[in-house]
Amino acid sequence: MRGRKGDAGHPGGCWTMSNLNILYVEDDPRAAEAVQALVLADGDRLAWEQTGTGGLHRAGAEAFDVIILDRMLPDLDGLTIVSRLRAAGVGTPVLMLSALGRSENRIEGLEAGVDDYLAKPYEPQELVARLRALHRRSAGAVHGAVIIYGAFECHTKARTAFRSGRHVPLSPREFALFRYFMENAGETVTREMLLRDVWNMNFDPQTNVVDVNIGRLRRKLEDGFASPALETIWGAGYRLTRGE
């Protein structure tokens, strides 16, 4: 049965460029409600499909910014859905949301054509951050040789960082971290995203290694300045401030 819960538009109607049109395929109504509440609060639109067949059909018929796909659906495996979508030429970025969160489950998902993989239980902010990052990536944001955000400047070719015109000396890895924050300026960046994109690690070592590295970058970016450079988003990750 097709459990379509309707397209939930943003009540305020004040759409910005960051508002997403999301398809969510999930058989568990409680999980669906939680996600729905989360993305609606952020001003995004969400179409919910309760079955794999319904999701597959809808993903092929309508244009969405991102698709959230549960892995274990009663009628059709989430991995099969992604494979079929990719085979049919549908390139919409897919975030797989699954109770199967082990490394090998993630690898299976990525190999099937999933763009990102988030294990349940997850932090709501983490989901939102990932969705936005996915959308940004698929929108193909091309950064020039210099990225500027607030008081920060990132010279990608020269590999140098500046705050308010003052050079901030960074190690190569710190620069990679800084550049990642600049490319995702104003958005929450989660620990998992950093591990995956900066250290090329597809699992969380469950230690504070990321926080320690962020701490070192933060000290360098804030050295001699009164205002913070990075703010911690509790339970999710970090966000670059405008530094002004």
Partner 1 sequence: MSASRARPRSRGRSIFGQLTVASILIAVIAVAVLFAVTTITVQRQTRASLSAMVSTDLAGLIDIYATGGRDELLRRVADRQDVVSLEGRRSHYMVADGAGRRLAGDIRQWPQVNAARSEEGFISLANGTAVYAQGTRLAPDLQLLAAREYDRDSTALAVLSAAFLGVGAAIVGAVALVAWFTSRHLARRMDAVNAALGAAADGRAASFPARQRGGDEIDEMAGHGARLLARQAQLLKAYKHVSEHVAHEVRTPLMHLDNRLGAAMQARPEPAGGPLGEARKDIRSITTMLDSLLDIASAESQRGDLAGLARIDLSALAGNLAELYEGSAEDAGLSLETAITPGVSMLGERMQITRLLSNLLDNAIKYVPRGGEVKLLLSDGPRVVIEDDGPGIPHDQRDRVFERFARASAPGDRPGHGLGLALARAIAERHGLILRLGDTPRGAQFILEPAP
Give the residues lining the site for partner 1 (CB under 8 A).
28, 30-31, 34, 72, 99-107, 119-124, 173, 199-203, 205-209, 212-213, 215-216, 235
Shortest Å, Cβ 217 to partner 1? 9
| Closer of 90 and 214 to partner 1 (Cβ) | 214
| Closer of 16 and 206 to partner 1 (Cβ) | 206
Shortest Å, Cβ 205 to partner 1? 5
Shortest Å, Cβ 60 to partner 1? 27
Whole-angstrom distance, CA of residue 153 vs CA of residue 147: 6
Whole-angstrom distance, CA of residue 196 vs CA of residue 143: 20
Whole-angstrom distance, CA of residue 1 vs CA of residue 54: 8
Contacts 24+ apart (CB under 8 A), 59-62: 59/23, 59/25, 59/85, 59/90, 59/92, 60/85, 60/88, 60/90, 62/23
Q: Burial of 128 by CB count in 10 Å (0-12 exposed, 13-18 middle, 19+ buried)?
A: buried
Shortest Å, Cβ 164 to partner 1? 25
Shortest Å, Cβ 121 to partner 1? 4
| Closer of 60 and 215 to partner 1 (Cβ) | 215
Whole-angstrom distance, CA of residue 243 vs CA of residue 146: 17
| Closer of 153 and 174 to partner 1 (Cβ) | 174
| Closer of 38 and 147 to partner 1 (Cβ) | 38
Structure tokens at 64: 């969405």
